Chains A and B, each alone.
Chain A
Amino acid sequence: MTLSAPPTRSLDELTLGGDMSLEDLVSRDGLAEVIKSANELFGLPIRVFTEDGKLLADATDSIELYAYLNTSRAGRAALSEVVAAVKALAPGADGEANYQCVTGAFYRVAAIVYDSRQIGRMILGPFSPAASAEPPASLLALDAQLDPDNLRALYKKLPRGEEQTVSHVARHLARVLDLLLFSGHRALLTSNMHLASVRESFRELEDKNQKLQVAYDRLKELDRLKSNFLATVSHELRTPLTSIIGYSEMLVEGLAGDLTKEQREFVQTIRDKGDQLLALIKGLLDLSKLESGTMSLRKNHVDVAALIKDVVSTMAPTARKKEVELTFEVEKGLPAIWADAERLRQVLLNLTENAIKFTPVSGSVRLVARLTGMDATSSGDTGGMVLLGARRTGVEMRVADTGIGIPESERMRVFDAFYQVDSSSTREAGGTGLGLSIVKRLVDGHDGNVRIEANQPRGTVFVVTIPVKRATIG
Chain B
Amino acid sequence: MQLDFVNRELTVKLVYYGPALSGKTTNLQALHKAAEPGASGRLMTLETRDDRTLFFDLLPLTFRNQGSLAVRLKVFTVPGQVIHASTRRLVVQGADGIAFIADSRNAETQHNAESFLDLKENLKQHGLTLKQMPVVIQFNKRDLPEVRSDAEIAELASQGREPVYLAVAMRGQGVVESFVGLLHLTWSALDAEHDLNKKFGFDSQAFLATVAKKLGDSRPLSEILGACVGGALDVLKPEAG
Interface residues in A212-248 (C-beta closer than 8 Å to B) = none
A417 interface residue per 8 A CB criterion: no
What residues of B have a CB within 8 angstroms of the CB of A169 in the complex? Answer: none
* Docked CA distance A326–B130 (Å): 79
What residues of A have a CB within 8 angstroms of the CB of B46 in the complex? Answer: 186, 189-190, 193
Among B3-11, B170-178, B201-209, the stretch in contact with A: B3-11
* Docked CA distance A196–B90 (Å): 8
Do B86 and A204 touch (CB < 8 A)? yes
Q: How far is the CB of A350 from chain B (nearest CB, A)?
A: 53
Do B90 and A197 touch (CB < 8 A)? yes
Do A18 and B86 touch (CB < 8 A)? no
Interface residues in B58-115 (C-beta closer than 8 Å to A) = 58, 60, 62, 64, 70, 72, 74, 76, 84, 86-87, 89-91, 93-94
What residues of B have a CB within 8 angstroms of the CB of A74 in the complex? Answer: none
The DSSP consensus for interface residues of chain A is: helix
Do A182 and B42 touch (CB < 8 A)? yes
Do A11 and B72 touch (CB < 8 A)? no
Do A12 and B93 touch (CB < 8 A)? yes
Total A-B residue contacts, Cβ distance less than 8 Å: 61
* Docked CA distance A52–B177 (Å): 42
* Docked CA distance A122–B90 (Å): 36
A185 — nearest CB in chain B belongs to which residue? B44
Chain A: interface residue count, which band? Answer: 10 to 19
Do B94 and A12 touch (CB < 8 A)? yes
Which residue of B2, B42, B86, B93 is within 8 Å of A11 (Cβ)?
A: B93
A162 interface residue per 8 A CB criterion: no
A15 interface residue per 8 A CB criterion: yes
What residues of A have a CB within 8 angstroms of the CB of B4 in the complex? Answer: 18
Interface residues in A10-64 (C-beta closer than 8 Å to B) = 11-12, 15-18
* Docked CA distance A196–B60 (Å): 22
A265 interface residue per 8 A CB criterion: no
A201 interface residue per 8 A CB criterion: yes
Q: How far is the CB of A183 from chain B (nearest CB, A)?
A: 10
B187 interface residue per 8 A CB criterion: no
A200 interface residue per 8 A CB criterion: yes
The DSSP consensus for interface residues of chain B is: strand
A134 interface residue per 8 A CB criterion: no
Which residue of A16, A116, A190, A193 is within 8 Å of B13 (Cβ)?
A: A16
What residues of B have a CB within 8 angstroms of the CB of A16 in the complex? Answer: 2, 11, 13, 72, 74, 94
Do B72 and A116 touch (CB < 8 A)? yes
Which residue of B2, B11, B44 is within 8 Å of A182 (Cβ)?
A: B44
What residues of B have a CB within 8 angstroms of the CB of A186 in the complex? Answer: 44, 46
Do A193 and B90 touch (CB < 8 A)? yes
What residues of A have a CB within 8 angstroms of the CB of B41 in the complex? Answer: 115-116
B55 interface residue per 8 A CB criterion: yes
Which residue of B7, B55, B84 is within 8 Å of A18 (Cβ)?
A: B7
What residues of A have a CB within 8 angstroms of the CB of B76 in the complex? Answer: 15
B76 — nearest CB in chain A belongs to which residue? A15
* Docked CA distance A116–B9 (Å): 11
A201 — nearest CB in chain B belongs to which residue? B86
Which residue of A17, A182, A189, A200 is within 8 Å of B89 (Cβ)?
A: A200
Q: How far is the CB of B113 from chain A (nearest CB, A)?
A: 23
Do B90 and A200 touch (CB < 8 A)? yes
What residues of A have a CB within 8 angstroms of the CB of B7 in the complex? Answer: 18
* Docked CA distance A374–B13 (Å): 69
Give per-residue flags for B141-177: 1 if the beta carbon is below 8 A from chain A beta carbons, else 0: 0000000000000000000000000000000000000
What residues of B have a CB within 8 angstroms of the CB of A196 in the complex? Answer: 90
B39 — nearest CB in chain A belongs to which residue? A116
Do B86 and A197 touch (CB < 8 A)? yes
Interface residues in A177-195 (C-beta closer than 8 Å to B) = 182, 185-186, 189-190, 193
Contact A200 to B2, CB < 8 A, known contacts A115-B60, A182-B42, A190-B55: no
B42, B62, B76, B93, most chain A CB atoms within 10 A: B42
What residues of B have a CB within 8 angstroms of the CB of A15 in the complex? Answer: 13, 58, 74, 76
* Docked CA distance A30–B106 (Å): 51
Do B60 and A189 touch (CB < 8 A)? no
Q: How far is the CB of B81 from chain A (nearest CB, A)?
A: 13
B91 — nearest CB in chain A belongs to which residue? A11
Do B94 and A197 touch (CB < 8 A)? no
* Docked CA distance A198–B11 (Å): 27
What residues of A have a CB within 8 angstroms of the CB of B58 in the complex? Answer: 15, 189
Give per-residue flags for B1-40: 1 if the beta carbon is below 8 A from chain A beta carbons, else 0: 0101001010101000000000000000000000000000
B4, B55, B64, most chain A CB atoms within 10 A: B55
* Docked CA distance A64–B37 (Å): 44
Contact A17 to B90, CB < 8 A, known contacts A182-B42, A182-B44, A189-B55: no
* Docked CA distance A197–B64 (Å): 34
B94 — nearest CB in chain A belongs to which residue? A12
B4 — nearest CB in chain A belongs to which residue? A18
Do A18 and B93 touch (CB < 8 A)? no
Q: How far is the CB of A190 from chain B (nearest CB, A)?
A: 5
* Docked CA distance A15–B58 (Å): 9
* Docked CA distance A197–B56 (Å): 12
* Docked CA distance A15–B44 (Å): 11
What residues of A have a CB within 8 angstroms of the CB of B91 in the complex? Answer: 11
Q: How far is the CB of B145 from chain A (nearest CB, A)?
A: 37
What residues of B have a CB within 8 angstroms of the CB of A182 in the complex? Answer: 42, 44
What residues of A have a CB within 8 angstroms of the CB of B84 in the complex? Answer: 197
Do A18 and B90 touch (CB < 8 A)? no
Q: How far is the CB of A207 from chain B (nearest CB, A)?
A: 11
10 A-B pairs with the lowest CB-CB distances in the bound complex, closest first: A200-B86, A193-B55, A116-B62, A16-B11, A12-B94, A201-B86, A197-B87, A16-B2, A197-B86, A196-B90
By a beta-carbon cutoff of 8 Å, the part of chain A in contact with chain B is 11-12, 15-18, 115-116, 182, 185-186, 189-190, 193, 196-197, 200-201, 204
Query: What are 17 residue pairs bridging A and B, where the CB atoms are less than 8 Å apart in the complex?
Result: A11-B90, A11-B93, A12-B2, A12-B13, A12-B93, A16-B2, A16-B11, A115-B72, A116-B60, A116-B64, A186-B44, A193-B46, A193-B90, A197-B55, A197-B86, A200-B86, A204-B86
By a beta-carbon cutoff of 8 Å, the part of chain B in contact with chain A is 2, 4, 7, 9, 11, 13, 41-42, 44, 46, 55-56, 58, 60, 62, 64, 70, 72, 74, 76, 84, 86-87, 89-91, 93-94
Known: A115-B60, A193-B90, A200-B87. 12 other contacts (CB 8 A): A11-B91, A11-B94, A15-B58, A16-B72, A16-B74, A115-B41, A115-B72, A116-B62, A182-B42, A186-B44, A197-B55, A200-B86
